[in-house]
Amino acid sequence: MRSPLSPRAISGLHYTVRQTFLISRRGISTSRNMSYALTSDGSVKHTPTNRPTLPPDTVGAANGPSAAAVDAYLTSKLAPKGQWADDPILEECRRRAAEADMPEIEVSPMQGQFLAVLALGLKATKILEIGTLWGYSTYFLARTLPAHGQIDTLELSPVHAKVANENFLALDLYPFPKVHVGPALESLQKLDIPGTEEGLPAHERGYDLVFIDADKERMYEYFQEALRLTRKGGIIMCDNAVRGGRIALEENDNPSIDVTGLRKLYDWVEQDQGKTVLMSGIQTVGHKFWDGFAIATKL
């Protein structure tokens, strides 16, 4: 069965599975608002679009530990003392972000370490990130790089970029992440495939890993640019790929922009039929509620 959610997983919900395998549910409200708006002082106003909620079949606090408590437990066990997610400088960075009134929308500590595991496993030397915020995910990615490595991170807000640069200095990151300020699509279109200028052979040119975590409405466009810039065998990882399950809901009357961007990407992957990429979608719960990653490799 190709339905994205089994009837059991959505028991209690009103649903119908159509030929398109979308699921409709009563009572879902959506928003057409832009999720990020650049203000005149260079900061970004973030309007949360329908915060994802826990899936109905997730064990809640009433029956046992909450997903957030499990996240905290895993972090306490899996972050090496004083390093990676437990690096004490990160608290100072988080404070700097709070003082600049930045939204708390960075990846979780365990997601950050997951990115680091991925980059280390790939032996990545060239990494691209779309969506910097205060540099939390950038920190995990940059720490995996060898001295000759390169990390580019794209951010719309000059205020976010400034805080991120201060944090990178405080964290003593080397190689130092290069923040490209401006609308990510414009920055992406200006980026050359890394290694081209140095005359590397074609199979060695391109980013090893791209992490997409900016405005969700342009997910498809970011993915296409990421494909252009990634080497064969490289990994493209998209955050917020499930949005509380709303990607699988029938919302044609009132589509929310963060979901339509993702659907455009998934429709493209469906049409591609494994010619250009192989992608997987992984649902996650945690202190950020119910969401997920879409992860692809360029074939």
Ligand X SMILES: C[S@@+](CC[C@H](N)C(=O)[O-])C[C@H]1O[C@@H](n2cnc3c(N)ncnc32)[C@H](O)[C@@H]1O
* 264 within 8 A of 243, measured Cβ to Cβ: no
To ligand X, the closest distance from the beta carbon of 104 in angstroms equals: 10
Q: How many CB atoms lie within 10 A of CB 173?
A: 18
**How far apart, in Å, are the Cα atoms of 59 and each of 62, 67, 70?**
8, 8, 11
Among residues 3 and 224, whose Cβ is nearest to ligand X? Answer: 224
Residues in the chain: 299
Q: How far is the CB of 36 from ligand X (least distance, A)?
A: 4
Q: Which is nearer to ligand X, 157 or 260 (CB)?
A: 157
288/298 with CB nearer ligand X = 288
Q: Which amino acid is at 42?
A: G
Buried b (16+ CB within 10 A) or exposed e, 280-293: ebeebbbbbbbbbb
In single-letter form, the type of residue at position 106 comes to E
- What are residue 23's DSSP bridge partners? 17, 249
Instruction: Output the CA angle 161-166-167, nearest 5 degrees.
Output: 95
Q: How far is the CB of 298 from ligand X (least distance, A)?
A: 21
Q: How far apart are the first and last CA of the chain?
A: 26
The strand pairing partners of 194, in sequence order, are none
Q: How far is the CB of 212 from ligand X (least distance, A)?
A: 9
Which chain residues interact with ligand X by CB under 6 A?
A: 36, 44, 105-107, 131-133, 136-137, 154-157, 160, 183-184, 213-215
Burial 105-120 (b: 16+ CB within 10 A, else e): bbbbbbbbbbbbebbe
52 versus 131: smaller Cβ distance to ligand X: 131
In the complex with ligand X, the residue whose CB is nearer, 44 or 259, is 44
Task: Give me the least distance between CB of 47 and ligand X, in Å please.
Answer: 11
Residue 63 near residue 281, CB atoms below 8 Å = no
Query: Given the complex with ligand X, which of 31 and 276 has the nearer CB atom?
Result: 31
Kindly state the smallest distance separating residue 52's Cβ from ligand X, in Å.
Answer: 13
- C-beta closer to ligand X: residue 67 or 107: 107
Query: Do residues 50 and 30 touch, judged by C-beta distance below 8 A?
Result: yes
Quote the CA–CA distance of 164 and 239 in Å, as a whole number.
19
CB of 161 to ligand X, least distance (A): 9
Structure tokens at 179: 């923040």
